[in-house]
Structure 1
Amino acid sequence: MLFFIAKSKCQRIIVCLLLIYFGYLLFKKYGQNLLVSVAFLAIFFLFAFKNSQINEVSLNEDTVVKVYPDQVKISDDWMSATGRVGKTSILISGKIAAEQKRLLASGKTVQINHLNGEVSQILPATNLGEVDYRKYYAEKRITQKIEFKNCQMQPVSFGFKEKLHHLRFNLQQYFSQMPPLLSFFTSELLLAENPSSDKTIMNNYRDLGIIHLLSISGLHVGIYTLVISTILYLLKFTDRQVFFVCVLFLFIGIFLSAGQAGFVRASLTYLLEEIFSLRKWKITGFDLLGLTCLIHLLFLPRLFMSSGAILSYILAFGLQLTQDKQGLMQSFLMNLLLTPFLLFFFFQVNVLTIIFNSLAIPYFNFVVMPASFLNLVIFKLNPSLSLKIELLLKSTEEIIGKISQTKLGLIVFGKINWWECLITVLIAIVLIAYLSKKNAKRKWKLSLAAGLMATYGMGFCLIHFPLEGQVTFIDVGQGDSILITTPFPRKVYLIDTGGKLNFSGKKITPQVNRITLPLLKAQGINQIDGLFVSHQDADHVGDVGPLLEQIKVKKLYMAKGLLNNPSFCKRIAGKTSQTKLVELLAGMQIKEPKINFQVVYPFKPGEGKNEDSLSLTFEVAHKRWLFTGDLGQDGEKEIAANYPLKVDYFKLGHHGSKTSSNPDFLKAISPSMVFISAGRNNRFGHPHQETLSTLRSLRIPWASTQDCGMISWYYGFKKPHFERFVMEKME
């Protein structure tokens, strides 16, 4: 399975060493049954390899996609769903007619055919820190997507599987009618999904380090089986009968939670443990967990491409490793084990997690879970009582939200490398093992603890006190956002934020939340020294408001006149109390440590339109850069007439539009390379062929975020060099 993740030779060598070590452990423990063990492993790997194969789908007139109602999401007239073509799962999306929308809303399974569209591979992450949906869906054995322009739909007659999905659909609809918090918790606890696009609660819990409470896991399986067993024992059921009823409920739970990794792991562990107990076979906790993992991998070989699955099994392993400890000491040791993975996947850690957990677990076990399950029964019978329960939860969640907003105990550490994660995990495991030994020497314990702290300290210093600076074109799709940092002492600047126009009027998750902020966190950045906004367009400053709300910005720079623009003022209203606003005109300079920004446009105040775009130039490592926003050719001529610039690197104006990047201007500034920031398959056709033809005729090479994803230029400790985040041709 690790070969699905391993990319470099070094990673594959480590995987091989781990396999050799695993084989050694098997031989040492089960040497007397070596032949049986080898045969079992051979069968396991063959079966797992067979299950890892994913058939590719091609679109033709005979292609039929089956879609279950609980796997469909509809926003206005746009449908997105997970479908099945034969035995292959695939994502499908497209605009639907009103009649088709009514059919899907009825909760029936449908067959979609006569598709007019195209099949493509699911795109990987294109920025550092961004969620990699290619890996996320690969774990679910989905690698392709269909986007259709039109299609036909027919309902499918109800079979057993269709009835099960219809039941889950009905539960989704039932939960959606509940008050918001009860709907959220019930959906998370039973269906392992968030019914709303609002991530506020998730973010609050994540910042406090208690996000695991929202995942269906061993804790919930233990509570379910305990409650069911207690009731059945009171009704005089036998052990076997109780076991079979619990297994039935757990299988239903697995289906309802769509195979959530933590729930499957805990259910398999319960199943195996009870079988061994009923058969009076002995098995250690570690062997039970290992057997659970092998069976899980047998059916989902790509399981550990999911961070949730990794954290679930690490948590279970940690519980076994610290079973002789109690209370706060066990929580502390568990956090030692989990921290490397939290830094690798989420780039931050809360040092007060132990305290927050000790307070949150009773609240969750004795308030949230009982309230959610009680509401399942009473919501239809007594909605007013549900509203009272909602008010109780709301008051508590507001307190949690206020604590989360203080960022108390939260450290934005940054993303550690895979080898740093491996080293810290191994040291933590050895340290925990030594702490459990009564006769272990104190000096070894202290040495391991010091080694662990030194590893973290070294990683923190490398991230927060970098020897290199960068100029990075963030891939924000159809828009602009450029990150500029200097070597230690690091200063951070951003030119534009990107953003999207929202025509629906509905609340949507800002792009900055899923792209820019994770990128900054991955680099350990928790404040911006200077934010430059070029003009009013949403694809440049649409996310300025959400960015100002979530990260400290010392200074906000803009062209003079933009503060008179009502649209822009509305974006920043009430969000700049701790930010200094600075208006700029051509000829002004922003002198900062290790970098000096020169303003070359506009020459007079404007309204924040394209022709008023703030244009900047600066020089680092003997290389001059120029950024002109969406400035048109007339503005470029003014710059050329007033500033005889020669630049090394230039971001093409207006995403490579033919309205910018005049040939004479390009000749005048004579760049050695230019960059294009534009969305894939954007409706404007950027970059225009006229612009690309101009670049070819002038023999100026270019790089585009459409093909490369995030593009970074590093300078400082090493020789200046470019890196592109995506190493394959983007579709």
Structure 2
Amino acid sequence: MALASVSLCGIFQSQKWGKLFALAALIYLLFLLKDKYGGLVKLAMAFLLLLTLVLAKDQVKPGEPAGDIRLYPDQVKITDGWLSGRGQTATQKVQVYGPASREALALLENGQSIDLTEVSGAVSEIEPSTNPGQFDYRRYLASQHVYRQVKLAHYQFKLAPASLLTRLHGLRWKIQAYLKRLPRLLAFFASELLLAENPAGDNQANLNTYRDLGVIHILSISGMHVGIYVFALAVFGSYLHMTKEEVFAVSCALLTFEVFLSAGRPGFIRATLSYVFSAGLAFKSRRIGRADLLGLTYCCQQLFTPRLLLETGGILTYVLALGLVLTAKLPDCKQAFWLNGLLTPFLLYFFYQVNVCTIFYNILVVPYFNYIVMPMTGLALLAPPGLAAFFEKILEAAEGMLANVAKTGFGQLIYGQVKAWQLALLFALTFLYLITRKKKYRHILAAVYLLIFVSIHFPLEGQVSFIDVGQGDSILLTTPIRRRVYLIDTGSKLTFGKKKQSQPQIDRITIPLLKAQGISQIDGVFVSHQDADHVGDLGPLLEEMPVKRLYMGAGLIQNPSFRARIAGRVEKTKLVELKAGMEVKEAINFQVLHPEVAGKGENKDSLSLTCRLAGKSWAFTGDLDQAGEEAIIKKFPDLKIDYFKLGHHGSDTSSSTVFLRAIQPKLVFISAGRNNRYHHPKPETLAKLHQLGIPYLNTQTEGMISWHYGIREYFSSFLEGRRVCYHY
């Protein structure tokens, strides 16, 4: 634990609290070990010195990629002539994306590795997460030692020289291609279990089912699979009259190959190293305790993967392994309970929800997975198409039943995201109870969980947040204490041509944001108009989260496209049409400024609202054009607004000078996508704001922008995990 603390300190060396925590843990544990385990202390200090040198080297940010970039066929994806994936230069790994020539694509699609030469294009850092709760792709890639991305503009290419590595990647590509020919579910399970990857986006629903039931770990390639491989080889070796040493050598070779196939998943590497060390020492008639074996495995893996604890899988596999050591003497049910207890703080930090019935679901799902899924998947790899189709029907029926159970939400608790210090406290209390069995720690642990839950679900501050959904609008409003939740528009990722999203954008941005705040239902959703960048993800939102009331401008409900979006999804949602002059009396009172007459849901019909919070007035006008804005001023001549969401993403078709002068905002907000094809916000609009002396904040540069009110009032922007405050 001291070594893990120090390695985290090295990774997050800019945070002083991390250094202090690591130093305190190190001093305390070494003090405990100083008399009885002097040799272990020396070994630990030597390891720390070596690890420090490795981390220091790893902390050096690589420069821009130079020279050739090698692409392996199993590490790139090709869609409609567009190439994306992982590349390797002489000195570093990079993310690569851009259009590809037919000849280069033909080689990659045929399983060949190629070298890109004379590369020109934009080189930049990996884009960070820009909203709370959003998956941090930059941090994940950093755990893989990838820091740069290259947008290809021009290059030459040639076939990569044949080598052991190119042949191995070619073999992995052939396995990928073979698995893709299987029926969908069999391909899904086989790819997860052999390659630790999801072969297609249409399996997201299955992943969600296992996640919601709290059994997602079953799909992870880890210790169970190592045990299966070793057992199978032992049986096979016994049949061939092989010696234990020969079986061990073959097992090591197979497991090493599977490490490569699984792209170095931390859980599988940990289990493999544990097997190698324990079996290797057994040949020397030396026994090693489970705790010592875990420590030895961690030290070895940490040296080869310095940023191991940057990856969620790396953390969870070692927490689970530690839990197995600490609970080894407990009865099965108690062991399962406390294993989940040890994992829960991390699950709440990374995923914001738990299933309190996960023990029951494990009892239900594990036998199904071990005795149905894995045998059928294994047989399907060699079975004729007819038998594979039969297996697929069985799996479809079983997965359908699991999905129905998951949809009930039974046992699922959206707790919210715990802070880093809260995670450390919860984990420490659980750890102390497991090693001391003192009831006081159990009672304190329960009280801390309750207090954190109350602080998340009954917040002292409300908010108005402009979620960074790219080229679109989505605005979250909440009230303090007895929290009520409202959403203005949902946003959506714009797609052009025939290409469709494999996963709605709202599942990657807004839903995680809501769950991170402990929000499990929405009191009201306001739809400004029909455009996809405002309402495109309304359907997925209604499927994922209960919505009490859906508000829209008069006439929008008659729009066939809009009716199709909500069809079959609003049985328990009240639909309310609004016109100018009406008032929505909720926990937040909204005044309706537009439309005056029923429309078709076009820009000119945008539902426009104003509300007042903590003495500050807000206005939201969707994509309303300048004529509509000036009509609002005529109808409401005394309208004054403190904070205004600039119309139509900063386009020159909205936010007229007359309107801005009339409402006299202190600050305006722009919600627009980075490098969007419309070039929003327009230079003319920004010049207009400058001329009128109106400051603005833009999601393009700030990420999600929030105004907090309650105990205190302040603005903040979320960018690269930082919060920078603005006061107006």
Question: Normalising to structure 1: TM-score of the pair?
Answer: 0.95
Stretch of structure 1 that moved more, 135-144 or 565-574: 565-574
Q: Which moved more, 1:556-565 or 1:252-261?
A: 556-565
Q: CA offset at residue 156 of structure 1?
A: 1.3
1:694 lines up with 2:688 in the alignment: yes
Aligned partner (choices 135, 138, 143) of residue 134 of structure 1: 138
Counterpart-to-counterpart distance in 1, 2:662 and 2:609 = 16
- 1:323 — aligned with what? 328
In structure 1, the residue corresponding to 2:681 is in which secondary structure? coil
Pairwise CA distance, 1:45: 2.8
Q: Equivalences for 1:422-433 in 2 at 5 Å?
A: 422-433=424-435
Contact 2:129 2:721 in 1 (8 A): no
Q: Deviations over 1:145-190 (max 9, x none)?
A: 0112343332213211100000000000000000001100000000
Please give the residue correspondences for 1:363-402 in structure 2 after superposition, counting only pairs within 5 Å: 363-378=368-383, 382-402=384-404
Who is 1:439 aligned against? none
- 1:512, CA displacement in angstroms? 0.4
Distance 1:58 1:83, change over 3 A: closer
Aligned equivalent of 1:419? 421
Listed one character per residue, the Cα deviations across residues 110-153 of structure 1 (whole Å, up to 9, x for unaligned) are: 11133332001001111111000010000000011011234333
RMSD: 1.7
CA distance in 2, matches of 1:271, 1:578: 56
- C-alpha separation between the residues in 2 aligned to 1:28 and 1:53? 38
1:45 is the counterpart of 2:38: no
Distance verdict in 2 for CA 1:362–1:490, change over 3 Å:
same
Counterpart pick for 1:2 among 8, 18, 38: 8
Residues in 1 aligned to 2:628 and 2:363: alpha-carbon distance in whole angstroms: 61
Instruction: Check 1:728–1:530 CA distance in 2 against 1; reply closer, same or farther (3 A cut).
Output: closer
1:477 has 2:470 as partner: yes
Segments of structure 1 that go 5 or more residues without pairing to the other structure are 436-443
Q: CA deviation at 1:29?
A: 4.8
Deviation string, structure 1 residues 8-52 (Cα, Å, up to 9, x no partner):
433332122123234335534531465555334323432343345
Q: 1:470-494 CA distances to partner (integer Å, 9 max, x unpaired)?
A: 0000000000000000112111000
TM-superposition CA deviations, 1:206-262 (whole Å, max 9, x none): 100100000001111111111111221232211211111110010000000000010
Change (3 A) 1:660 1:33: closer
Q: 1:310 aligns with which of 289, 306, 315?
A: 315
Match of 1:204 in 2: 209
Percent sequence identity is: 47
Q: Does 1:611 align with 2:601?
A: no
Structure 2 residue 658 is matched with structure 1 residue 661? no
Would you say 1:356 and 2:358 are equivalent positions? no
Question: What is the SS of the residue equivalent to 2:382?
Answer: helix
Residues 29 and 383 of structure 1: CA distance in aligned 2, closer, same or farther (over 3 Å)? farther
Q: 1:72-120: per-residue Cα shift (whole Å, max 9, x none)?
A: 1111121101001113000000122333322221110011133332001
**What is the CA distance between 1:288 and its match in structure 2?**
1.0
SS of corresponding position for 1:725: strand
Q: Distance in 2 between matches of 1:7 and 1:639?
A: 50
CA distance in 1, matches of 2:387, 2:36: 58
Name 2:503's counterpart in structure 1.
509
The answer to which of 247-256 and 495-504 deviates more is 495-504
Provide the C-alpha distance between the structure 1 equivalents of 2:395 and 2:500, rounded to a whole number of angstroms. Answer: 25
CA distance, structure 2, for counterparts of residue 312 and residue 223 of structure 1: 18
Query: Which residue does 1:91 correspond to in 2?
Result: 95
What corresponds to 1:100 in structure 2? 104
Structure 1 contact 209–353 (Cα < 8 Å) conserved: yes
Pick closer, same or farther for the CA change 1:514–1:217 going to 2, 3 Å: same
Counterpart contact for 1:78–1:95, Cα < 8 Å: yes
CA distance in 2, matches of 1:315, 1:510: 32
Q: Are 2:307 and 1:290 equivalent residues in the alignment? A: no
Counterpart of 2:3?
Answer: none
How many positions carry a matched residue from both structures?
A: 713
Aligned to 2:484: 491
The secondary structure found in structure 2 opposite 1:370 is helix
Cα gap change, 1:423 to 1:6, in 2 (>3 Å): farther
* 1:49 alignment partner AA: A
Any gaps of 5 or more consecutive residues in structure 2?
1-6, 724-728
Q: Distance in 2 between matches of 1:493 and 1:39?
A: 55
Residues 428, 149 of structure 1: alpha-carbon distance in 2 compared, 3 angstrom cutoff: same
Contact 1:631 1:660 in 2 (8 A): yes
Quote the offset at 1:466 in angstroms.
1.3
Matched-pair contact (CA < 8 Å) for 2:51–2:306: no
Equivalence for 2:726: none
Q: For residue 4 of structure 2, what is the aligned residue in structure 1?
A: none
Residue 715 of structure 2 corresponds to residue 722 of structure 1: yes
Partner-residue secondary structure (3-state), 2:480: coil
Change in CA separation of 1:710 and 1:108 when aligned onto 2, cut-off 3 Å: same
Aligned AA for 1:2?
L
Q: Compared with structure 1, are the counterparts of its residues 34 and 395 closer, same or farther at alpha carbon in structure 2 (3 Å cutoff)?
A: closer
Give the match for residue 667 of structure 2: 673
Output the CA distance in 1 between the equivalents of 2:40 and 2:649: 66
CA distance in 2 between partners of 1:598 and 1:44 (Å): 61
CA contact (8 A) 1:115 1:152 kept: yes
